[in-house]
């Protein structure tokens, strides 16, 4: 079986490694990641192909059909597609990307499944800590609207793509944790974030690191997505409880899909 995984996440890396180790003689694996950081995280996994770069729906269709830039199908028929299974293991908040993957798969007839991010108990979403006094919102825009009426420094841990939502808040209040990539730094520059307020690092981060960051920059508010245990959500919430910073949590979108165990069982079948 030829498997294409849209990854860049812990789940994507774990699935690629599991298939490579367990089924290396039966299946070939290609992993599509958006950034060079995602590709670097796959280092050490044998016998996989890595595609780097953000893809829109049309580019996904061409990939699924193995079409060249001239639109020709490289002599492959629709009954002999280059991939037998597409697994969407992108971030839980990458709603637009997931929609593009589903649409491209439907247009090309490739079987597609969604790999969910689940915690150790099998549930999706983090457990709120009752004494954190957390504020729950439905989007980055809602978080920005709430914080615009507050005082104190804000630590944004939601990534560079969400920065535009906070443009109405004075930039000197914002401390931004982003990936150490040219695109991440450029997004901060475009948003007017002072260089001293840019924290360019690769997570997830320990509770101790979060505590140190909050105390170093005297953070009053921490904006986070409910990224689950694998995304370091618990460590951020615990750090808020320890330091007294208030978390503003962007709730996870509802979605349907399969667990890691279920995806591996499908591949085995």
* Domains defined along the chain, listed by start: 2-120+255-268 (3.40.50.720), 130-250 (3.40.50.620)
**Average pLDDT, rounded, for the chain:** 88
Mean pLDDT calculated for residue range 164-172: 95
d(CA 248, CA 165): 14
Q: Cβ distance 236 to 222 under 8 Å? A: yes
pLDDT at 143 over 60: yes
Mean pLDDT calculated for residue range 53-75: 73
* Confidence grade of residue 74 (pLDDT, cut at 50, 70, 90): very low
Q: Which is more confident, 230 or 257?
A: 257
Lowest mean pLDDT of 98-107, 115-124, 236-245, name the range: 115-124
pLDDT at 76 over 50: no
* Confidence grade of residue 231 (pLDDT, cut at 50, 70, 90): confident
d(CA 64, CA 50): 15
d(CA 144, CA 142): 5
N-to-C CA span, the chain: 11
Q: What is the pLDDT of residue 72?
A: 43
| CB under 8 A, 24+ apart: contacts of 74-83 | 78/108, 78/109, 81/108, 81/109, 81/110, 82/2, 83/2, 83/3, 83/4, 83/30, 83/110
DSSP 162: G
Residue 235 CA to chain centroid, in angstroms? Answer: 17
Q: What is the pLDDT of residue 111?
A: 94
């Amino acid at each position: 079986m030829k498997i294409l995984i849209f990854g860049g996440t812990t789940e994507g890396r774990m699935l690629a490694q599991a298939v490579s180790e367990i089924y290396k003689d039966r299946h070939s694996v290609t992993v599509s990641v958006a950034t060079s950081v995602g590709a670097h995280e796959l280092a050490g996994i044998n016998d996989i192909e890595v595609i780097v770069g953000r893809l829109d729906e049309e580019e996904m269709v061409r990939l699924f059909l193995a079409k060249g830039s001239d639109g020709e199908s490289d002599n492959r028929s629709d009954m002999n597609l280059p991939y037998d299974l597409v697994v969407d293991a992108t971030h839980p908040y990458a709603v637009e990307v997931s929609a593009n993957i589903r649409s491209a798969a439907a247009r090309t007839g490739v079987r597609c499944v969604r790999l969910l991010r689940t915690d150790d108990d099998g549930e999706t979403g983090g457990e709120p800590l009752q004494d954190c006094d957390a504020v729950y919102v439905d989007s980055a825009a809602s978080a920005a609207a709430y914080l615009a009426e507050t005082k104190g420094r804000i630590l944004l841990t939601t990534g560079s793509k969400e920065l535009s939502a906070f443009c109405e808040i004075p930039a000197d209040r914002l401390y931004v944790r982003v990936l150490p990539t040219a695109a991440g730094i450029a997004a901060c520059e475009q948003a007017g974030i002072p260089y001293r307020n840019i924290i360019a690092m690769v997570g997830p981060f320990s509770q101790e690191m979060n505590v140190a960051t909050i105390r170093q920059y005297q953070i009053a508010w921490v904006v986070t997505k409910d990224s689950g245990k694998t995304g370091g959500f618990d460590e951020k919430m615990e750090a808020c409880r320890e330091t007294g910073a208030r978390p503003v949590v962007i709730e996870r979108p509802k979605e349907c899909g399969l667990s890691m165990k279920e995806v591996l069982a499908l591949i085995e079948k």
